[in-house]
Structure 1
Amino acid sequence: MQESSANVKCQYFAAFVVNMLSAGYGVTAGWASPSLILLTSDETPLQSGQITMDEASAVAALTSLGGLIGNIFFGWITSKFGRKNPLVFMTIPTIISWLLILYGQNVFHLYASRILSGFVGGGIFVIVPAFLSEIAVDRVRGVLGSMLTLTCNVGILLAFIFGKYLDYFATPKIVIALTVACAILLFFLHESPSVLIKANKTLEAEKSIKFYQNLNVNNDKDFKHLQSEMNRLQNTIANVNEDKTSDNSFKWSDLTVAPGKNAMMIGIVLVLLNQFCGCVAMLNYTAKIFKDAGSNMDPNMSAIVVGIIQLIGSYVTTNLVDRAGRKFLYVVSSIGIALGLITLGTYMMLKTSGYNVEIFNWVPITSFSFVIFIGSWGVLTLPFLVISEIMPEKLKNFGPSFCMIILWSSQFLVVKYLPLLTDTLGFHYTLFIFAGVCLFGAMFIIASMPETKGRSYDEIMKMLR
């Protein structure tokens, strides 16, 4: 059936509401860049005085620990309480985390805040893609799914802007207000239809479909479409149960056979590529890279420039994901990052070797900007969407959660130990290693990842088999 544009307006509304949470988490992710400079200075707002660089690095890294805990917790809780209720619950630790920054007296309050905010982030990247994938019709599923990273990047850019132009205490107040508004709007949303059908809540599932697809059951065409959607979802759940009588719980054996085995392998490679491409690690050293380029730009302004580049790249993805397709964008993004890193690495190698590269001092800024821009086309933005699309029903909770545990663990390792790697091998060889990972990822995606653009769940499962 061909949906009119009006049929998806409630799906866009739901995506806007849940992504208020991801925008808030984006502010959390970007908060450290401007704030740690202030916290380690004599003008620190903490009553206990300025913090050390060791404490500052811990403040930056503890979100990864919180994210790891959040993935495990929310991966379990979604199987018990669905999607909507955990999303509402997330607003509570979000508000507490920012209150700890607003009224924090010492670095331990900041530690607690960062763990709590990472805890929420771990849940966001598990639940939001799954929720949007379940409520969206095929033709807009890609756009709605890619909004997660887009809004997160909006939050990061806002954090950079707030850090430069507003008072330290303004950011917590703004995010708390945003989170309260999100909590109120969440009550107007319905639980996802597939969750309700699994819970044998047929009438509620019908109401959910009518809401998200804007159906009028008094209209014969809409009534038939509603019945078709209910039958499709019920058949999907029935197919999951056919080999295990009325048991649709996850079992370890699901990981050893297709499509579960293939989906997990693809998911793991995508999250490892997301971190070991080097983009996230390089974003933590933005000021250093701009300094190496000979720029006298203020570090916070440098961060704003990078935030704008990220945002433009993720916006491009949102517009292309349902036109060009996931696989094409992933391949272009992976190869593009590799070329940018090789260019930057070559420049750094020549400079380290004593060659006069002054005439090419524009290369680091250009290469770095290109890497972040092209990375936002796919590698940095699409893993959460693709993973939510390719996971079989039995792995809908375990699969994304396990992949995100790997992502958070990898993020902690890459960010923490990048300085050691660059000191041991040199910055240029480190960049070459990241480029090699990207080229391997591109080959894997070409060979193994199915194109999910515009395809139904059943079609994707057939491709994975």
Structure 2
Amino acid sequence: MTEAVCLTEIWLIKDIVDTSYGSLCTGMSMGWTSPVFPQLRSDNSPLPREPTLQEESWIGSLLVLGGLLGPLVTVPLSNRIGRRRIIMGSNIPLLLGWLLAGVATNLPTLYAARIMWGCATGMLFATVPLYIGEIAEDKIRGSLSALFLLFINVGFLLAYAIGPFSTYWGLTATGGILSLFYVPFTWFIPETPFFLVYKGKIDEASQVLQKLRGLSKDVVQTEVDGLQALVAREFRVEPSVKDLWATRGNVKALGICVFLAMLLQLSGIDVLLFYMEELLVKIGTRMSASDGTIIMGVVQVVTSFITPLVVDRLGRKLLMWTTSLGLTIFLGLIGVYALLDSYFKYNVESWAFLPLLCLIIYMILFTLGVGPVPWILVAEMFPVRTKCLASGIASFMCWLAGFIWTRFFREVASSYGIYTAFWILAICCGLGFIFSISPLLPETKGKTFDEIQDMLNNRTKEPKPVAV
């Protein structure tokens, strides 16, 4: 039995890895800007002239704007063609983006490439957490969901590590080649049992569950019957937007997930990842910007290995308030350092290690809590009927907040000082801390879907009669 369980976990993790491989490719496209911006200002740039500050801001932020297209694709199609086909289909804009970036000789082509990458990223962010939530068991759901973030961070590290030692075209070609492997990786992943039952493919759903759970057909029949009952109950009529406010629990879950998804971006993660080399120079660190960026990428990846081990042990609420408090403190410290260094011109030579140290701790804390928890909650908090729509809305708002901030961060830093920009990030994280310690954020660790719904709707279980 133990051998069967181990084999089952291997199959499940393999499917999650295959599914999350696309996030490695999109992570590389997101981190691409950090080493590429210095190259766009060099003599080896593919562009006819050096881009202006505003043009560079558009190059950085248009990926996030493209992310808004992802939910617009996934929400109407998810219950029609399935999660698997959307995950596979996300490779189309991803590959198109690498192709456009590879042949770009002007800014509009580069803009189009960034939008395509953003569309692919938005599709994956809206679908992969949903997919994982539907194939994983309750006790390991959070841990497996955290693997999605791990692969994103591996992609960032690849961009950071290859970019400084390669040409513009070498880095872009590497990203395109890695993305070509995305289709064979996802070709063999199964469709989720829920979607198969939803489409009336009961036997196929049973076969998938037998493989995922390592159990016989008779044993998984109970889960199949539960899915059939769920579909019959929740999908008597076609889902609509009105379902999101049909119950108090849905409204509360949507508010929580949208707020935390926006906090994820307002904590400044995309700003730091897109402009890492530039920021390390601006805040006054004395280390080589490329070396510092690689160190940050390694920290992200190492911490991502730890996240699956703690997310189902420490709980979502504890991780959120501790990490958001930490982000508030260390972003504030970076702001103080930058104020003393760039505005008051104090001699901070003896503290030159502080900005990089604070950013390293920032990455650790973000990767442990503020980064993965919102997407885990999206997969946990919503009834099946509204999950696709809610996931799309949370993802849309996440990308909208990210676009606004990545577009204007550098202009805020240029006009009011880099310290002001970091203090704004610290204030946003402080709001996240206040929200996380309040009763507004419930704990969902280890709870079944029904238990989570009872908690969100303030329902109490009927006490069982005491035997006399």
2:226 matched residue in structure 1: 232
1:397 corresponds to which residue?
A: 388
Q: How many Å separate the matches in 1 of 2:319 and 2:348?
A: 33
Find the aligned partners of 1:160 and 1:375 in 2 and give their Cα distance.
Answer: 18
User: Is residue 297 of structure 1 aligned with residue 298 of structure 2?
Assistant: no
The equivalent of 1:213 in structure 2 is: 213
Pairing 1:255-404 to 2, within 5 Å after superposition: 255-292=245-282, 294-351=284-341, 352-353=343-344, 355-404=346-395
Counterpart of 1:202? 202
Q: 1:408 to 1:370 in 2, by over 3 A?
A: same
User: Residues 298 and 386 (structure 1 numbering): CA distance in 2 closer, same or farther, change over 3 Å?
Assistant: same
TM-score for the superposition, normalised by structure 1: 0.90
Q: Secondary structure at the match of 1:215?
A: coil
Q: Tell me which of 448, 453, 464 is aligned to 1:456.
A: 448
* Counterparts in 2 of 1:286 and 1:86: CA distance versus 1, 3 Å: closer
The Cα shift of 1:76 comes to 1.6
Counterpart of 1:410 (choices 383, 387, 401) is 401
Distance 1:50 1:290, change over 3 A: closer
Counterpart contact for 1:279–1:371, Cα < 8 Å: no
Which residue of structure 1 aligns with residue 22 of structure 2? Answer: 21
Q: How does 1:11-90 map to 2 (within 5 A)?
A: 11-46=12-47, 48=48, 50-90=50-90
> Deviation above 6 Å: which 4+ runs of structure 1?
none
Q: Determine if contact 1:75/1:123 at 8 Å carries over to the other structure.
A: no
Contact 2:304-2:367 at 8 Å conserved across structures = yes
Q: CA deviation at 1:157?
A: 0.7
Counterpart residue number, 2:131? 131
Report SS of the residue matched to 2:237: coil
Distance 1:307 1:347, change over 3 A: same
Specify the alignment match of 1:250 in structure 2.
Answer: 240
1:128–1:166 CA distance, 2 compared to 1 (3 A): same
Moved more, 55-64 or 398-407: 55-64
Contact kept? 1:33, 1:300, Cα under 8 Å: no
The answer as to whether partners of 1:150 and 1:381 remain within 8 angstroms in 2 is no
Distance in 2, matches of 1:390 and 1:294, equals 43
- Give the Å deviation of 1:125: 0.1
| RMSD of equivalent CA atoms | 2.4
Is the contact between residue 57 and residue 406 of structure 2 (CA under 8 Å) also seen in structure 1? no
The AA in structure 2 aligned to 1:312 is V
Q: Secondary structure at the match of 2:168?
A: coil
TM-score for both structures, normalised by structure 2: 0.90
Give yes or no for contact 1:64–1:118 (8 Å, CA) kept in 2.
yes
> For the residues of structure 1 that align with 2:49 and 2:201, how far apart are their CA atoms?
55
Separation of aligned partners in 1, 2:351 and 2:289: 22
Q: Which residue of 2 aligns with 1:220?
A: none
Q: Aligned partner of 2:455: which letter?
A: M
- Please identify, of 152-161 and 72-81, the stretch whose mean Cα deviation from structure 2 is larger: 72-81
Q: How many residues align?
A: 454
Aligned partners of 1:138, 1:40: CA distance in 2, in Å? 50
Shift of 1:277: 1.9
TM-fit CA distance, 1:253: 4.8
Structure 1 residue aligned with 2:186: 186
* 1:102 to 1:398, Cα distance in 2 relative to 1, 3 A: same
Worse-superposed segment, 346-355 or 227-236? 346-355
Contact 2:33–2:274 (8 Å) recurs in 1: no
Is contact 2:241–2:389 with CA below 8 Å preserved after alignment?
no
Shift of 1:397: 1.2
Question: Post-superposition shift, 1:100?
Answer: 1.8
| Structure 2 Cα separation of the partners of residues 432 and 294 of structure 1 | 16
After TM superposition, give the deviation of residue 133 of structure 1 in Å. Answer: 0.7
Deviates more, 1:102-111 or 1:331-340: 102-111
- Structure 2 runs not aligned, ≥5 long: 458-468
Letter in 2 for 1:414: W
Distance 1:430 1:298, change over 3 A: closer
AA aligned to 1:406 is M
Find the aligned partners of 1:167 and 1:292 in 2 and give their Cα distance: 24
State the Cα distance separating 1:276 from its structure 2 match: 1.7
Deviation (angstroms), 1:129: 0.6
Is the CA contact (8 Å cut-off) linking 1:132 and 1:145 kept in structure 2? yes
Q: Report the Cα distance in structure 1 between the residues aligned to 2:210 and 2:54, rounded to whole angstroms.
A: 53
Could you tell me which runs of 5 or more consecutive residues in structure 1 were left unpaired when the two chains were aligned. Answer: 218-222
Distance 1:294 1:111, change over 3 A: closer
Shift of 1:320: 0.9
Decide which of 434, 439, 444 is 2:430's aligned counterpart. Answer: 439
> Residues 81-100 of structure 1 correspond to what in structure 2 (within 5 A)?
81-100=81-100
Cα shift readout 1:403-428 (whole Å, capped 9, x = no counterpart): 11111111111112223434555443
Query: Does the 8 A contact of 2:248 with 2:456 survive in 1?
Result: yes
Deviations 1:49-108 (A, max 9, x none): 554444333222211221111221122211221101112222222222212222333333
In the TM superposition, residue 24 of structure 1 has moved relative to its aligned partner by: 0.3
